[in-house]
Amino acid sequence: MYHNIGIPPQGAKLRSLYVTPRMFRFQMWYLKHAGFQVAPLADVVDFSKKTGFFGNASGKAKKKQKRLISLTFDDGFLDFYENAFPVLKKYGYPATVFVVSGLAGRENLWDAHLGVSKKLMDWEKIRTLRENGITIGAHTRTHPKLSSLPPEDVKKEVHGSMAEIEEHTGEAADFFCYPYGDFNDSTVREVKKAGFLGAVSVARGFVSRGDDPFTLKRIPVRLNTWPLSFIYKLHSDYEAKKGRQLEKGGA
């Protein structure tokens, strides 16, 4: 789970959401050289839906599944287009960008109370991404906390984001991302009703076979994710443990 790819401006709030272009290049390089298979989110969703044990899968096939990685970028910031897209293109990596459909070409107005203003991609750029193998996912129309909205507004945010993406890109969005990782049962129901095939949360950990495809876990990559911690996140059960801790703590 990425947000901004760029150098955080001096005194910027929400600095931890940035990953510097240099670190990002390292991380993409590492995935390739460590033998990870960077796959579209659709593949991870398919994997989550598999149930039971593949008793007869060969060791090799199991190892391959273990090395499946999907890259997601929340909010659709302009810095994705400028700093991440060229690197992804170079490696031929697929990725999913979750855009806030009502604010394309504008700014992250949902953070206005923090005095943080960052540019979001316009539809032309979003269309260019789509034409270049980037999956466009939905992240609502205006980035609200969905669980605190009345049902009719949840509908507008969820179904509306699907409709706007289809209108501007010519293609329906398959995947949804809950703003702030916030959802409840009725939010999830609405996301399914709108026709999405899966959704990502901010719960931490790897995706396992049998996981709910509408509340997929992710692994955050942040400003302080130094090379060693990036590698540690990928190769150890650190993220799974962290996820369980946070769950217990009620976070």
The residue among 74 and 190 lying less far from Zn ion, judged by its C-beta, is 74
Find the DSSP H helices in the chain.
21-33, 41-49, 59-66, 78-79, 85-91, 123-131, 151-169, 185-193, 227-235, 238-248
The residue among 125 and 143 lying less far from Zn ion, judged by its C-beta, is 143
The residue among 74 and 211 lying less far from Zn ion, judged by its C-beta, is 74
CB of 181 to Zn ion, least distance (A): 9
Question: For residue 137, what are the CA distances in angstroms to 86, 92, 98, 164?
Answer: 19, 19, 4, 11
- Within 10 angstroms of residue 50's Cβ, the number of other Cβ atoms is 13
Q: Which parts of 105-144 interact with Zn ion (CB under 5 A)?
A: none
Q: Which parts of 173-192 interact with Zn ion (CB under 5 A)?
A: 179
Residue found under tokens 């899968």 = 57
Q: What is the DSSP letter of 9?
A: P
- Could you tell me which residues come within 8 angstroms of residue 200 by beta carbon, excluding any fewer than 6 positions away? 1, 41, 72, 98, 175, 176, 177, 178, 216, 218
- Could you tell me which residues come within 8 angstroms of residue 130 by beta carbon, excluding any fewer than 6 positions away? 136, 169, 171
CB of 215 to Zn ion, least distance (A): 16
Where b means 16+ CB within 10 Å and e means fewer, 203-225 reads: bbbbbeeebebbbbbbbebbbeb
Q: Which parts of 15-54 interact with Zn ion (CB under 5 A)?
A: none
164 lies in the binding site for Zn ion (CB under 5 A): no
Rounded Cα distance between 75 and 72, Å, is 10
The residue among 74 and 79 lying less far from Zn ion, judged by its C-beta, is 74
CB of 98 to Zn ion, least distance (A): 7
CB of 179 to Zn ion, least distance (A): 5
Q: Site size for Zn ion, by CB under 5 A?
A: 3
The residue among 70 and 72 lying less far from Zn ion, judged by its C-beta, is 72
CB of 143 to Zn ion, least distance (A): 6
Using CB atoms, what's the residue nearest to Zn ion? 74
Q: Which parts of 63-82 interact with Zn ion (CB under 5 A)?
A: 74-75
157 lies in the binding site for Zn ion (CB under 5 A): no
Scanning 76-84, 85-93, 172-180, 230-238 for contacts with Zn ion by CB under 5 A, the matching segment is 172-180
The residue among 75 and 164 lying less far from Zn ion, judged by its C-beta, is 75
The residue among 179 and 198 lying less far from Zn ion, judged by its C-beta, is 179
Q: What residues line the site for Zn ion (CB under 5 A)?
A: 74-75, 179
